[in-house]
Amino acid sequence: MYPWLETTFNALMSRYRAAKLHHGLLFIGVADVGKTQLCHSIAKALLCKSVSSNTHVKPQNASHFESDDALAQPNKTAQPNKTAQEACGICKSCLLIDAGSHPDLHVITTDKSQIGIDAIRQTIAKVTQTAQLSGNKVVIIPQIELMSESASNALLKTLEEPTPNTYLLMTTNQSQRLLATILSRCEKQIIALPSYDESCHWLRMLQIPEPSKAALIAHGSSPITFRNELEDADSIGFDDFVITLKGIMEGNDTANRAALKWQVDASKVAKWLAQHWLEIYKNKQNEFAYENYQACLIASKRMSHPGLNKSLILTSLFAQLRSIQVASLH
């Protein structure tokens, strides 16, 4: 588990043991903060025979949002280094989850632009039945903002009248897109990004050199995104991007050459340029910098349009770097 999620995980599992865990949990946060991974860790613990053997509980309904910080008792069957809150990893349930074949764990995903009503209905039909392993039933729905309106309404009925021992674990990057009725019937958990120090600590554990603060911000302040892009041989590097900026501002490189170099990742480059201008505006309150910040954000959104000359747009954005540098010399 990502270390910055442990506090949330332990608090929720303590509530489960105290029979105060809500049946519908909605985890809200930016992409690559670890929401879905947290859902899987919770699901595994809810289904684990070692975790559930000490306490038989029922989910709380929508009118109860109590929390309880009571510590769980140690579980002797758990693997070494496992707390009583975590799944043991060795029971039949844990092994089935690891194999991707647990009959009471249902994960709803889609490779389309929407999660349709059929996927929701099929899963609801399964969880209305008795659990096959005589325990809990868990549904995980990543990015529920992708649900169609009809799918949302179908899910709403289950949120309003959950079947016994059923838990719905959902995530969203865009809670503003959800129906108000869905939001009102879930317990919302805000998942924050780790601090810079926490991010660096985790990256060091993976033997990844810690990034500068600017580099981490350029990757959405997410160490997960930073790691993924670092491991992607085709991804552009922020350090190379910074060298390019310096070359343009010092007159050792041209806007046109830089645009041709980075046009494949034009949207990302435009966002990084926006970040550069925003920092200048914060430090110097320069209106020209703010105007360029806005222009870069608009350009980044436009980059997805087909047939757009990305190199031409980037050339214009890069040219502004030299303009402010020349102006500062006079």
DSSP secondary structure letters along 91-109: SHHHHHHHTT--TTEEE--
| Range 138-159 average pLDDT | 94
Residue 60: band (very low, low, confident or very high) from pLDDT cuts 50, 70, 90: low
d(CA 145, CA 27): 12
Cα distances from 194 to residues 38, 39, 63, 106, in angstroms, run: 14, 17, 31, 29
For residue 83, is pLDDT > 80?
no
Listed residue (156, 158, 163) closest to 180, CA to CA: 156
Chain region(s) in the chain for CATH 3.40.50.300: 3-190
Residue 58: band (very low, low, confident or very high) from pLDDT cuts 50, 70, 90: low
d(CA 171, CA 154): 17
Predicted confidence at residue 76, as pLDDT, reads: 38
- Find out if CATH 3.40.50.300 is the number for domain 3-190: yes
For residue 70, is pLDDT > 80?
no
For residue 54, is pLDDT > 70?
no
HSE toward the beta carbon, residue 227, CA cutoff 13 A:
15
| Range 62-73 average pLDDT | 37
Long-range contact list for 112-116, CB < 8 A, 24+ apart?
113/146, 114/146, 114/147, 114/148, 114/151, 115/141, 115/143, 115/144, 115/146, 115/147, 115/148, 115/151, 116/148, 116/150, 116/151
